[in-house]
Structure 1
Amino acid sequence: MEYLESSYFFDFESDAIQELIAEFKDDSLSKKEIAMGMYTKVRDHWKYDPYSISLSKENFRASAIAKNPSGNCVEKSIVLIACLRALGIPARLHLGKVKNHIAAERLIEKFGSNELTPHGMVNVHLNNKWLKMSPAFNKSLCEKFKVEPLEFDGENNSFLQQYNSEGSLFMEYTDDYGHFTDVPLDFMKRNIKEHYPHIFDTDENITEFKL
């Protein structure tokens, strides 16, 4: 299946990814248990950081992201997909657009909008069905903003925190770009530049911008 293959981006043969999955190479674990454990590890091992945008191809490799202390939603999804594929579980990248309603001031200051795009999550294939899961928001961040962390039970979709614990609207999906076998970097570049043109230099050769 194509969703089990390695690629330039999902380079799961790398030492960095093999180290991440080592504890899950256990024949006593079911694929459901592996997916749940791997999801939680990626969710909480990297702090969520939406304020750093890089369009350099090298920075979207799972092995490179794995060495960073933080990552945005797409980056964390790439790592999780690489880990799942390495463990024999089909997985693919799913992209969309979301609107953030809590702690939106800094987003508006940096991006000129409280919409984040492309927002990344993971589709995982378990028990003959595709499930959605989002490893973006680490547990400590959720606690800070009084939002229940997303848990994945291996049986149901887990990708949207619509409200925080006080009942305030937290986030909503406003567009769905569908799923991809590999990282669609050209699409992502066009999408980011279309939505946030003011943060890019007019020179098209500029491919990286740190906020």
Structure 2
Amino acid sequence: MPDTRFLDVTPMLDSKAPAITALISELGWQRLSPHDRIGAAYDYVRDEILFGYNVADTRQASLVLADGYGQCNTKATLLMAVLRALGIPCRLHGFTIDKSLQRGIVPELVYWMAPRSILHSWVEVRLDAQWINLEGFILDQQVLGSLQAAFPGRTSLCAYGAGTDCLQAPMITWQGRDTYIQRAGINADLGIFDSPDAFFGQHQQDLTGVRGWLYRNIIRHWMNRRVAAIRRGAVPALPGGDKGLKPDVPDRVFTDS
């Protein structure tokens, strides 16, 4: 029997939810080739779902769609659900990233509260018998454009939600090959998972008790306002100036599959 686990519906990947099926029907994505289905879903999640912080990493795909914003993990969940609804096999690759990647978005007053390593993921999609890594959908084009304008002379950046060694021309456009925008911040490879449900069943972010309540109810809204300001071109300076853009991050550890 064919392996269908990379097309399965799960509690988080609610790919048969009315909002997701309606989106696909309205935009006519089912009429596209597999290559173009991936591109249409990818572009939509990258730019129509704005970069921002949801209430939890484990949010259902249809709720991320309703929010209209997301970060690496929640946008990955939505992208996977849409891809599976389109008949495209996909899986999740889990990592951690150094918290310095979020410097400039996490307010300095509470930056010390952030865990040193933050759960991160990207989507692997199967096309023409190959697995392709998709991570370039995390930052919407307006946020990325503001960072490029703010740091015109920089090639590498690990702050403000970006982690790239080619800031001015990162590989974020779907062309049938890997895309990345936060890869430079990775500090641990947690492996490949059939679904985000499986990933978060094994790995949970350490945001419990008072710290978790503060994040959900106050800090993430503060972060989202800062992201909105960056989108408008108001990129906040970091303590230490340019030195703040050169965090002490371990060498990247990941496996391309």
**Counterpart residue type for residue 121 of structure 1:** W
1:25 deviation in Å? 3.6
1:101 deviation in Å? 5.9
SS state of the match for residue 106, structure 2? helix
1:203 deviation in Å? 10
SS state of the match for residue 122, structure 2? strand
**Counterpart residue type for residue 80 of structure 1:** L
Q: Is the 8 A contact 1:62 1:78 kept in 2?
A: yes
Q: Find the partner of 1:209 among 203, 216, 219.
A: 216
Greater helix content: 2
SS state of the match for residue 175, structure 1? strand
> Does structure 1 residue 126 correspond to structure 2 residue 127?
yes
Could you say which residue in structure 2 is the equivalent of 1:62?
61
Q: TM-score, normalised by structure 1?
A: 0.77
1:102 deviation in Å? 6.7
Greater strand content: 1
Could you say which residue in structure 2 is the equivalent of 1:159?
180
Q: Distance in 2 between matches of 1:25 and 1:160?
A: 25
1:48 deviation in Å? 1.0
Give the CA RMSD over aligned residues.
2.9
Q: Which deviations, in whole Å up to 9, do the C-alpha atoms of 1:102-128 show, x marking residues without a partner? A: 772443734435966211211000010
Q: Distance in 2 between matches of 1:84 and 1:188?
A: 24
Q: Which deviations, in whole Å up to 9, do the C-alpha atoms of 1:144-187 show, x marking residues without a partner? A: 11144611211x2112467xxxxxxxx43221112211223233
1:20 deviation in Å? 2.4
SS state of the match for residue 84, structure 1? helix
Q: Is the 8 A contact 1:10 1:61 kept in 2?
A: yes
> Does structure 1 residue 21 correspond to structure 2 residue 24?
yes
Aligned length: 189
SS state of the match for residue 78, structure 2? helix
Identity of aligned residues (%): 22
> Does structure 1 residue 187 correspond to structure 2 residue 195?
no
Q: Is the 8 A contact 1:10 1:78 kept in 2?
A: yes
Q: Is the 8 A contact 1:49 1:72 kept in 2?
A: yes
> Does structure 1 residue 47 correspond to structure 2 residue 62?
no
Q: How does 1:69-108 map to 2 (within 5 A)?
A: 69-99=68-98, 104-107=103-106
SS state of the match for residue 66, structure 1? helix
> Does structure 1 residue 38 correspond to structure 2 residue 44?
no
> Does structure 1 residue 10 correspond to structure 2 residue 13?
yes
1:99 deviation in Å? 3.6
Q: Find the partner of 1:140 among 139, 142, 164.
A: 142
Q: Distance in 2 between matches of 1:70 and 1:143?
A: 17
Q: Distance in 2 between matches of 1:73 and 1:188?
A: 15
1:65 deviation in Å? 1.1
**Counterpart residue type for residue 16 of structure 1:** A
Larger Rg: 2
User: Which runs of 5 or more residues in structure 2 are unaligned?
Assistant: 149-166, 220-257
Q: Distance in 1 between matches of 2:28 and 2:202?
A: 33
User: Which runs of 5 or more residues in structure 1 are unaligned?
Assistant: 163-170, 194-198
> Does structure 1 residue 200 correspond to structure 2 residue 174?
no
C-alpha distance 180-161 of structure 1, shift in aligned 2 (>3 A): closer
C-alpha distance 142-34 of structure 1, shift in aligned 2 (>3 A): same
SS state of the match for residue 137, structure 1? coil
